Amino acid sequence: MKDISCKVLVIGGGPGGYVAAIRAGQLGLDTVIVDPKPMGGTCLNVGCIPSKALIHAANEYRHVSKMARGERTPGVRVENPSFDLAAAVEWKDGIVARLNGGVAGLLKKAKVKTVRGWARFRDGKTVSVDTETGTQVIRAEEIVIATGSKPVELPFLKFGEKVLSSTEVLSLAEPPKRLVVVGAGYIGLELGTAYAKMGSHVEVVEAENRILPQYPADLTRPVAARLKDLGVVLHLGAKAKGLVGEDALLIETAGGRDERLPCDKVLVTVGRAPLTEGWGLEELALDMDGRFIAVDDRCRTSMRGLYAIGDVTGEPMLAHRAMAQGEMVAEIIAGHRRAWDKAAIPAVCFTDPEIVTVGLSEAEAKHQGIEVKTGQFPFKANGRAMTLEDEDGFVQVVARADNHQVLGIQAVGGGVAELSAAFSLALEMGAVLEDIAGTIHAHPTQSEGFQEAALKTLGHALHV
């Protein structure tokens, strides 16, 4: 097989990798991208997109079930709703296939060559790729490592038929009657909530003393209330110990006693680890930052001509961070002056209700010694939230006390994920409270909560 030489080689076709390749191609750089799987990586194939599809399907079933009981949307009548998970999975797979094709088309449009296979470094400029037709050698002037991450596996709960990762749980034929989720982070609660809405009895085991420990406590209380409403049982301050027989998970409770939780499936969501094995890291002389590849503010590694982006470079392990890094690196290789200088990277938790955080929380700002003022506007006072029958939650703004510069924005509520762009833009543009308060927000929309929170922080909210 004839060797390939190129200007840019991207290893990994996830959000960061394919964006880097597309942008490099747009800039006229001879670019090759390598991945053994369909383009899109974990996010598109077995993560962000498919999980949100199943969450939506579960939400719809929950809504019509409540309508059938006369508990939602007066005037709408529904009889005998049912849920077909296999059909939902087929629909989800169709969405993934459409997006796979879309990414492939964009790469082709940008004149990027795609090689399907597993890449392994021979040296800092050369990789060999195991393809279906043999070994392909690729030499490149600049290489972007975008290998992503993988689910963390517990040594006493190996992934298999009974124990699932976030990948396998997205393709079940039917909801398990009893599902135990190990880990109450965003992945575990997003998927656990979805299966509870499908009809599974869900129990969650979390070592910390509250759910979503990475988020401020006031943001998680509406989520905890909804979990209770769904019948989800929480075991906080507890630790999973392993399977007992064929139908139970043994845990150690917060009180120190052993307890068996009957289950048909166990979903382990205790985090993700950078994918640093299998692609020849040992052949390189890269500086590491713990488990991650160390990079500077231009995503350059310690080796000339080698860049790294996305989950393999550390937190926050978010697709949109990887995309932004990928675009930046392509432009740097093309000779543009760029550096990583983001004021805010939004984080969204697609639980019920959803959570959005951008920038600093009140506690984080105070920890940095910044005197702040905050204001919170509840969705119970928002007309649009009422018409959507989803009044739980609020928007909160954190700003400097001296010059009113906005430092952070948090929200919890139905559909607040769609407010994340406005929140992020405010921080990137260096907005002050008066900017937000003086911007006319469309009525009736949930976005009015953002304006009202700014007004509240200034001391003169209008609708609360």
User: What is the SS3 string spanning the chain?
Assistant: CCCEEEEEEEECCCHHHHHHHHHHHHCCCCEEEEECCCCCHHHHHHCHHHHHHHHHHHHHHHHHHHHHCCCCCCCCCCCCCCCCHHHHHHHHHHHHHHHHHHHHHHHHHCCCEEEECEEEEEECCEEEEEECCEEEEEEEEEEEECCCEEECCECCECCCCCEECCCHHHHCCCCCCEEEEECCCHHHHHHHHHHHHHCCEEEEEECCCCCCCCCCHHHHHHHHHHHHHCCCEEEECCEEEEEECCCEEEEECCCCCEEEEECCEEEECCCEEECCCCCCHHHCCCCEECCEECCCCCCECCCCCEEECHHHHCCCCCHHHHHHHHHHHHHHHCCCCCCCCCCCCCEEECCCCEEEEEECCHHHHHHCCCCEEEEEEEHHHCHHHHHCCCCCEEEEEEEECCCCEEEEEEEEECCHHHHHHHHHHHHHCCCEHHHHHCCCCCCCCCCHHHHHHHHHHHCCCCCC
The yes-or-no answer on residue 443 being catalytic is yes
- Selected catalytic residue, list 56, 201, 443, 463: 443
Q: Which residues are catalytic?
A: 443
